[in-house]
Structure 1
């Protein structure tokens, strides 16, 4: 990974921070994409100490704000001509139905649409890499997910499992359809289930709601470092340089449920996503 440019979204905590540290340790130049400059700077300082590398940069983007994503990409392209690896790691779990600044239900808006726009806008920089890689962090929660074609923003009957699972299924269908579109290029795209990693996704930063549950469950889950291993593998392993459109768990390709291989749904999702983000 020496001197390769790697971008990690949601890099200020959890798996994103663990991924940043390890890739910087391996010689990559890592761009941490964070929403908060304050939390991002604290995380960057910790990552520099832990990795022993100064090649870690913080850039600000809010994946719930399409204009913020576009500004971020313009800034990146003004400074960098190539991107070797894009790790779409950032994610939310919205306990109640909330909307992004663009009016999207938050799970689908950030976990899928934000990354959909970011990835598409950066494709030209990935195309010029020796072997560009896109890594999408999904979840085993996709198995109970469904793309609600008639109501993707879940205006009726919202619950957290329904919203989160739909967004994680969307990550996989996005991966599948993008792999089709990238066929014949030097860019690959794969997705992964990190395992049962306990993150602070369900903890409300303002009220602290969910923190007690987090502390109680912590001993039974993987650490962020353990959970980041699949993303690191997909970003670095030479033996999968020609593998694209697959879903990994513990560095192995996994068989997907029929909903996650439904290319009609994948095509519908792609077209709907293009319309939503203005591509």
Structure 2
């Protein structure tokens, strides 16, 4: 049930990848707290259905359709969001995926890195001025504990030499955390915060397009022990809305509490390098 005077009343929240799973549960939860939510998804029918659920629960919702594997689509989405939303108090970078075999995007980039890291990197940068104008504002990026197994392979970011779905995924999730920490450093003198989080092991359709052997054989047996999407969204909702986090920035949350991420994630030199490389790959160059 929507709370007109709820803790998020009057605030606009953008949630990417919100047509199912954790993203939809995050949007539903924040709408129930009074936020106006803008959801993005690549399938118009699924986005419409998700919006219908949010409206049925009494929430305010706007729908934006975009395939975030394409930089042109990310840029178009940003333009539409800026045109339609006078204020953006929270950006939840939720979109993500896992592909067991190597796929290349329309931009000629490896899909896991493009969707999981470059899309939120580009979208955040394109919306940053609006977030600053709307401050206090928050950038919340859904990472994963897989970051602890990740390595940023600067000599082979696109996994052209050899591809492993899990290695590509782990790298992208470490990139999410390093991006968050670098963004927090860059936003230190502003009223915009940046935090990342691990949602937990959640039962969703994650990886269903191109599953690994483990996902096909093991996950069905693990599902009874995995969190439901609404449980998986708890930390995202907390980091996006908790009043006591208004000035808290540059942290990694698990179970709604700040936790240490991997030693590599705190390498400021590598994070600055990743930012420069990412900016070049998405065409932001020195402007970022």
**What TM-score, normalized by structure 1, do the two folds share?**
0.95
Question: Deviation at 1:139?
Answer: 0.2
1:52 corresponds to which residue?
Answer: 58
* Separation in structure 1 between the aligned mates of residue 210 and residue 162 of structure 2, nearest angstrom: 25
SS in 2 for 1:232: helix
Question: Deviation at 1:213?
Answer: 5.2
Matched, 1:21 2:57: no
1:1-279 alignment, distance < 5 Å: 1-49=8-56, 51-53=57-59, 55-204=60-209, 214-279=219-284
* Separation in structure 1 between the aligned mates of residue 46 and residue 219 of structure 2, nearest angstrom: 20
**What TM-score, normalized by structure 2, do the two folds share?**
0.92
Question: Deviation at 1:215?
Answer: 3.7
> Which of 121-130 and 214-223 deviates more?
214-223
Residues 139, 194 of structure 2: 8 Å contact kept = yes
Provide the aligned length of Structure 1 versus Structure 2.
Answer: 275
Question: Deviation at 1:74?
Answer: 1.3
Q: Deviations over 1:111-147 (max 9, x none)?
A: 0001100000000110011311000000000111000
Question: Deviation at 1:211?
Answer: 6.3
> Which of 196-205 and 149-158 deviates more?
196-205
2:5 corresponds to which residue?
Answer: none
Residues 21, 48 of structure 1: 8 Å contact kept = no
SS in 1 for 2:169: helix
Tell me: CA distance 1:238–1:164, structure 2 relative to 1, closer, same or farther (3 Å).
Answer: same
* Separation in structure 2 between the aligned mates of residue 250 and residue 159 of structure 1, nearest angstrom: 29
Tell me: CA distance 1:204–1:176, structure 2 relative to 1, closer, same or farther (3 Å).
Answer: same
* Separation in structure 2 between the aligned mates of residue 216 and residue 48 of structure 1, nearest angstrom: 34
Question: Deviation at 1:212?
Answer: 6.9
2:3 corresponds to which residue?
Answer: none
Q: Deviations over 1:211-234 (max 9, x none)?
A: 675543210111111110111001
Root mean square deviation of aligned Cα: 1.6
Residues 200, 214 of structure 1: 8 Å contact kept = no
SS in 1 for 2:209: coil
* Separation in structure 2 between the aligned mates of residue 214 and residue 101 of structure 1, nearest angstrom: 30
Residues 204, 210 of structure 1: 8 Å contact kept = no
| Structure 2 unaligned residues grouped into runs of 5+ | 1-7
* Separation in structure 2 between the aligned mates of residue 251 and residue 146 of structure 1, nearest angstrom: 25
